[in-house]
Amino acid sequence: MTRFAPSPTGYLHLGHAYAAEQAFSYAQERGGTCVLRIEDIDHTRCKPEYTKAIYEDLDWLGFDWPLPARVQSQHLMDYQKVIDQLNDMGLLYRCFKTRKELPDGVYRGTPDPDEARRVSDHEAFAWRLSIAEVEAHLGETDLPFTDEILARKDIGTSYHVACCHDDALQSITHVVRGMDIAPLTGFQNLLQRLMGWPQPEYFHHELLTNAQGEKLAKRNHDTTIRSLRDQGFTPAQVLDMARP
Ligand code: GLU
């Protein structure tokens, strides 16, 4: 079981077509299934119109997935339970700091000395995973991780929690995704260990670049699937263009 897990922050472009092809054909070639997951926990960036466009564009390209797709914004309670469990294990602490107050690089924090007052004043906070507590819990030292945010101030959860929870829930055995996410896999493996979730195998594919060798981004409007469709290209031609 694998998955394609786009975030609806814009229209899908050629880079997504390539990523989708990688995930769907990986499953197909092995007699497996590729599910579609909409990673839309970030209500500050995701829009329902882009979710609708994901279904339309993938369908137009000829991909098939079991219905219904999992839409993460409809399952925020599931992710809250993960936060609660890690909290019960004593592995999280509240972080009131803003980005500007944090040092560059690895961050290791401790509970805020003024925590009780700040909580009663309803100051916004994030939950961070304490690597020091994780090391004590696992009986290990020198884990090469920063104290990642597991519940953001503004959305109450995080990509890591939602993604790993759903990979476990959806019995994902093989994760096929872009190389840009490869550096996050080690941390996700740690989260899986803490939660007792199985660890899928990971394949990180290369990223499509434009003629200048830059990564394709959502602002490259000329390469959105819908604009190519409107220009008269066929799905086969678009998939053909979506190759490194
Ligand atoms: N939602 C992520 C993205 O659009 C993909 C995350 C993943 O595959 O783990 O980049």
User: What confidence tens digit (pLDDT) does each residue in 176-190 have?
Assistant: 999 999 999 999 999
pLDDT at position 244, please?
A: 80
Domain range spanning residue 42?
A: 2-75+168-241
Residues 93 and 137 placed together within one structural domain of the fold:
yes
- Going from the Cα of 39 to the center of ligand 1, the distance in angstroms, rounded, reads 7
Residues 90 and 63 placed together within one structural domain of the fold:
no
Residues forming beta bridges with residue 177, ordered by sequence position: 204
Residue 162 lies in a domain: no
| Domain limit, last residue, from 151, 183, 208 | 151
Residue 160 lies in a domain: no
pLDDT at position 205, please?
A: 95
Alpha-carbon span 107 to 152, nearest angstrom: 16
pLDDT at position 140, please?
A: 97
* 22 CB within 6 A, ligand 1: no
* 6 CB within 6 A, ligand 1: yes
**Distance in Å from the first CA to the final CA of the chain:** 25
pLDDT at position 8, please?
A: 98
Could you tell me which residues come within 8 angstroms of residue 224 by beta carbon, excluding any fewer than 6 positions away? 10, 11, 12, 13
Residues 81 and 70 placed together within one structural domain of the fold:
no
pLDDT at position 208, please?
A: 85
Residue 52 lies in a domain: yes
pLDDT at position 103, please?
A: 86
* 181 CB within 6 A, ligand 1: yes
Residue 157 lies in a domain: no
pLDDT < 50: residue spans in the chain: none
Q: Provide the 10 A C-beta neighbour count for residue 129.
A: 25
pLDDT at position 215, please?
A: 67
Number of domain units in the chain: 2
Residues 134 and 15 placed together within one structural domain of the fold:
no
Per-residue pLDDT of 69-85, as tens digits, reads: 999 999 999 999 999 99
pLDDT at position 220, please?
A: 57
Residues 98 and 127 placed together within one structural domain of the fold:
yes
Residues 67 and 93 placed together within one structural domain of the fold:
no
pLDDT at position 243, please?
A: 85
Residues 188 and 211 placed together within one structural domain of the fold:
yes
pTM of the predicted model, to two decimals? 0.94
Q: Tell me the CATH number at 222.
A: 3.40.50.620
> Can you tell me which atom of ligand 1 is nearest the CA of 4?
8
* 165 CB within 6 A, ligand 1: no
